[in-house]
Chains A and B, each alone.
Chain A
Amino acid sequence: KAGVTQTPRYLIKTRGQQVTLSCSPISGHRSVSWYQQTPGQGLQFLFEYFSETQRNKGNFPGRFSGRQFSNSRSEMNVSTLELGDSALYLCASSLDRGLADTQYFGPGTRLTVL
């Protein structure tokens, strides 16, 4: 099976712009979670989608949003980019058998905001 894929792998944007990141989960996985990874804060949970519905949400401002499609692929959008949004954005998928399940991570999208 192919692993979790994320596109693009690298992005450079300027302040005020918006960006959309994409994540394709492992085939058959229905849950997709997004994390922001920065050197100072480590990995912070953004949100989780399951069956096209946001099921959990972390403590991020409304500029961060996401969605999930019927094929479980997910997108994450950040509007009005700020310098502090520069980070590695990781996507993880899991089968979700009712309880916390093993999450399989993609390689991430490196976002740089200038």
Chain B
Amino acid sequence: AQSVTQPDIHITVSEGASLELRCNYSYGATPYLFWYVQSPGQGLQLLLKYFSGDTLVQGIKGFEAEFKRSQSSFNLRKPSVHWSDAAEYFCAASPGTGNQFYFGTGTSLTVIP
């Protein structure tokens, strides 16, 4: 069965430090992959997406993600975290036909001064 796993429930980083959020997927073929961010009381906002091609994807707010087929991973990174990045981050995958997305359970990010 298709699934998306985010191993880290909660991560705390200092402002200015680098960040990496992990995401692993289980699919028969390479799915379409997405990262979304959800701030308190807000809907989900798309950070970036991977469909094909270059395995390093640039997104908004300085985020990037790298697709690694051999590890079935799509980890999200940011070189320097800002206090405003504190939020819940969700990795999602879609088989590509239709819009049935499978989401991970999310990683809550806390940024300390």
Name A residues whose Cβ lies closer than 8 Å to a Cβ of B: 3-4, 31, 33, 35, 41-45, 48, 50, 55-56, 58, 90, 92, 94, 96, 99-108
Contact = CB atoms under 8 A, between A and B. Distances in A.
Nearest to A104: B46
Contact of B100 (A41, A58, A105, A106): A58
B100 A42 contact: no
Interface string B33-76: 01010000111111001010000000000000000000000000
A106 B99 contact: no
Interface string B91-112: 0101111111111111000000
Q: Shortest 5 CB-CB distances between A and B: which pairs? A: A100-B94, A42-B105, A105-B43, A43-B103, A105-B44
Contacts of B45: 105
B98 A55 contact: yes
Contacts, number: 70
Nearest to B100: A56
Contacts of A48: 98-100
Contact of B99 (A42, A43, A96): A96
25 contacts: A31-B99, A33-B100, A35-B103, A41-B105, A43-B92, A43-B103, A43-B106, A44-B103, A45-B100, A45-B103, A48-B98, A48-B99, A55-B98, A56-B98, A90-B44, A99-B97, A100-B51, A100-B95, A100-B97, A100-B98, A102-B46, A103-B101, A105-B45, A107-B42, A107-B43
- Which of the four size classes fits the interface of chain B? 20 to 34
A102 B103 contact: no
A3 B46 CA distance: 13
A59 B33 CA distance: 21
A42 B101 CA distance: 12
